[in-house]
Amino acid sequence: MRLDKYLSNMGLGSRKEVKPLLKSGAVEVNGKTEKDPKRHVEAETDRITVNGEEILYTEFIYLMLHKPPGTVSATEDSRDRTVVDLLGPAERHFNPFPVGRLDKDTEGLLLLTNDGKLAHELLSPRKHVDKTYFARIDGEVTAEDAEAFREGVILDDGYKTKPATLRILSAGPESEIELTITEGKFHQVKRMFRSVGKEVVYLKRLSMGTLRLDPSLGPGEYRPLTEQELKGLKQEK
């Protein structure tokens, strides 16, 4: 493909916008400065750099986002800020979308990708990908609640949840817990606690399958998945 198309496809701007970049001498092909936008390059074998940094040709993007509260897990919304609005133009260029949903007031781990196949597999109810949440609960969470969650509780629509693991970190008038569930019903964690007469007052997703929220990412920050993290996700049972 043409060099300007390569650079444009990798999010460096429109073909028109990459022209001055080429003209400035910032782009090298296999170690040699290349200014011709029409130069033919092979995505598989040629090494393209911009200001010394290698630009690998990839079709897919995989981002770990620490979703902040107050954003919606969607690509577009007429009222609220979406998780995609948090990304820079280079990432948005790939049209990523969130894999599954966190409520507007929930924060924590959210995977964003344009790999529809992987997203579909991770969300498939047949896969039972574990999701672990940290929550603060208004009320004293008890061993009986843990037992009820292990057995499965009946939600407000009559659905019986699959066995879930509740770890009580601290119990009191306000309790702190970690809950691991293997499904993703609408508002599931909040509804599970409601079924035992308690309210979730703060909710954060810590992990999804083998993928754990990087503690160095603050709310609203994101980074690409490492090779290892991606491999782990692709191998989810």
130 binding ligand URA? (CB under 6 A): no
Q: Does 198 bind ligand URA (CB under 6 A)?
A: no
β-strands 131-138, 97-98 pairing: unpaired
Task: Give the shortest CB-132-to-ligand URA separation in angstroms.
Answer: 11
Print the SS3 string covering 22-71.
HHCCCEEECCEECCCCCCECCCCCCCEEECCEECCCCCCCEEEEEECCCC
- Asked if 166 is part of the footprint of ligand URA (rule: CB under 6 A), the reply reads no
Q: Which is nearer to ligand URA, 166 or 203 (CB)?
A: 203
Reduced to 3 states, what is the DSSP secondary structure of residue 123? helix
Q: Please enumerate in sequence order all residues whose Cβ is within 8 A of that of 98, keeping only pairs 6 or more positions apart, or say none.
A: 65, 73, 74, 75, 83, 84, 110, 111, 112
- Alpha-carbon distance 50 to 26, whole Å? 5
Spatial separation of the C-alpha atoms in residues 172 and 141, rounded to whole Å: 7
Annotated active-site residue 103? The verdict is: yes
CA 76-90-3 angle, 5° bins: 130
Q: In the window 90-109, what residues touch ligand URA (CB under 6 A)? A: 102-103, 106
146 near ligand URA (CB under 6 A):
no
Report the residue number, 192 or 230, with the smaller CB distance to ligand URA: 192
Name the residue type at position 57. Answer: Y
- Segment lying near ligand URA (by CB under 6 A), choices 20-28, 89-97, 110-118, 185-193: 185-193
CA distance 172 to 198: 12
Q: Say whether residue 137 binds ligand URA (CB under 6 A).
A: no
Residue 80: DSSP 8-state: S
Interface residue with ligand URA among 5, 15, 93, 187 (CB under 6 A) is 187
Segment near ligand URA (CB under 6 A), from 147-155, 159-167, 184-192, 229-237?
184-192
Q: Site mask, ligand URA, residues 199-228, x = CB under 6 A?
A: ----x-------------------------
Binding-site ranges for ligand URA (CB under 6 A): 102-103, 106, 187-190, 203
Q: Which residues are catalytic?
A: 103
